[in-house]
Structure 1
Amino acid sequence: MSSDRRGLQPRKRPRQVRAELTRQRILDAAAHVFAEYGYAAGTTNRIAERARVSIGSLYQYYPNKDAILVELLTRHLDAGMNAAPLDQDDALPESIEGIMRFYVRAAIENHREDPQLLRVMMEQGPRAPELLDRVARHEQRRIAYARKLLRNHPEVRVADIDVAARLVVSTVEMVVHRVMAGPDRVDIGRFEDELVTMLTRYVTGDPVATPPGQR
């Protein structure tokens, strides 16, 4: 897939309400089309038809479907940041388990809407430099915030805070991505509980129960 930055940028940013509504309709239509047909068969003609706009109107906003998918990926990242912002320490639960649950649940909610679209974004999304940079900056902000939380929390007993912060952030991001985008249905409540338990035991140093056959 082309990574030419000019080909992945929206052609115009709407300044009027009507134009912004049209852009959002195109993005919503693209999300449905990619989820239903996959990326290869999710053509701009299908997107325009679903959005009830002419193909010419679609191209006024986006030069190709790569640019549309980049916009969907950006919207996904922004939704994740908005669901669990990094400036609300006073609103967080007091226990480390509660904090882990807050962020795990926010990540799960951001991935529940359409697993098929999530698979398309993960597996076939354009590797645009500006998008990769945005993902990297998003991760670094999360790691820095996790480092601060772990360092200041009295329940945390893990030896290396820097490594722990990276592991917690990477685990939540990658495991939630993989499980929610997987082909098999999963009990969301059980998945949340198990992931929270795993992370809490790791950072607090609580021993994990030894299987009966290994005692």
Structure 2
Amino acid sequence: MTHLARRTPRQQRSRHTVAVLVEAAAQVFDTEGLAATTNRIAERAGYSVGTLYQYFPDKAALLHAVALRHLDDVERRLHATFAELDATSPSWERTVRLVAATVVAAHADRPRLHALLYDHAPRTPESVGRLHALFDTVVTRLSRHALRCGVVTGEAEHTVALWVHAADAQWHRVLLGHTGDPDVLVRSFPDLR
């Protein structure tokens, strides 16, 4: 497994330090984009740059850590949404709205940061594998609901995969491409909230 971090924190205090550094990196990347520096990130976190370098060799490693944290958040949100869908079995329209609202919520807080992650976060075998696994999970779970609601027949996963990947391109290439407008997602989908 490829890691960009220098070391993996094992003690609670070290994990806390890393979490603070990653959040500071997210804040600084969100406001400064690629002009962010490790000095500014360390300053925002309240640590010395030497402490930062104990865990991350450079800002690319920090951007990667922010991307993995974002992926964790999206996975957690989608898992909760699919659990709700499995329990309630709503109409197809409501199913799609709940999944879309989950994706919007995961990106609406920092659209500029998410666009930066999409375009510039380092890709590692670990992160690419996790992203592919997330897509596979979404396609599989959404396919069950598409079949349940009768909107597809037969090879549901192929059709749903086309929908999911088209929606992903829309989120990341079109909507998040408008990073000068932080409310673009919310305005684009006002009735999803």
Return the alpha-carbon distance in structure 1 between the equivalents of residues 188 and 31 of structure 2.
Answer: 28
What letter corresponds to residue 183 of structure 1 in structure 2? T
Q: Is 1:150 equivalent to 2:146 in the alignment?
A: yes
Q: Is 1:26 equivalent to 2:3 in the alignment?
A: no
Return the alpha-carbon distance in structure 1 between the equivalents of residues 162 and 70 of structure 2.
Answer: 22
Return the alpha-carbon distance in structure 2 between the equivalents of residues 27 and 45 of structure 1.
Answer: 13
Partner SS state of residue 189, structure 2:
helix
Q: Deviations over 1:90-136 (max 9, x none)?
A: 43451100000000000000001111111211111112222111111
Q: Deviations over 1:124-170 (max 9, x none)?
A: 1112222111111111111111222212224x156752332112221
Alignment check: 8 A CA contact 2:104 2:185 kept? no
Return the alpha-carbon distance in structure 2 between the equivalents of residues 188 and 92 of structure 1.
Answer: 26
Over the aligned positions, Cα root-mean-square deviation in angstroms equals 2.4
Match of 2:46 among 37, 52, 63: 52
Alignment check: 8 A CA contact 1:104 1:192 kept? no
Between structures 1 and 2, the one with greater helix share: 2
Alignment check: 8 A CA contact 1:33 1:47 kept? yes
Return the alpha-carbon distance in structure 2 between the equivalents of residues 130 and 46 of structure 1.
Answer: 27
Return the alpha-carbon distance in structure 2 between the equivalents of residues 65 and 139 of structure 1.
Answer: 27
Percent of paired sites with the same residue: 30
Structure 2 unaligned blocks of 5 or more: none
Deviation, structure 1 residue 69: 1.2
What letter corresponds to residue 2 of structure 2 in structure 1? R
Matches within 5 A, 1:76-87: 76-85=70-79, 86-87=82-83
Match of 2:97 among 88, 98, 101: 101
Matches within 5 A, 1:106-185: 106-154=102-150, 156-157=151-152, 160-178=155-173, 179-183=175-179, 185=181
What letter corresponds to residue 62 of structure 1 in structure 2? F
How many residue pairs are counted as aligned between the two chains? 187
What letter corresponds to residue 191 of structure 1 in structure 2? F
Return the alpha-carbon distance in structure 1 between the equivalents of residues 6 and 185 of structure 2.
Answer: 38
Change (3 A) 1:70 1:120: same
What letter corresponds to residue 5 of structure 1 in structure 2? T
Partner SS state of residue 111, structure 1:
helix
Matches within 5 A, 1:56-67: 56-67=50-61
Deviation, structure 1 residue 73: 0.8
Return the alpha-carbon distance in structure 2 between the equivalents of residues 59 and 190 of structure 1.
Answer: 40
Matches within 5 A, 1:199-210: none
Alignment check: 8 A CA contact 2:147 2:153 kept? no
Return the alpha-carbon distance in structure 2 between the equivalents of residues 104 and 170 of structure 1.
Answer: 13
Q: Give the TM-score normalised by the residue count of structure 2.
A: 0.84
Return the alpha-carbon distance in structure 1 between the equivalents of residues 133 and 86 of structure 2.
Answer: 24
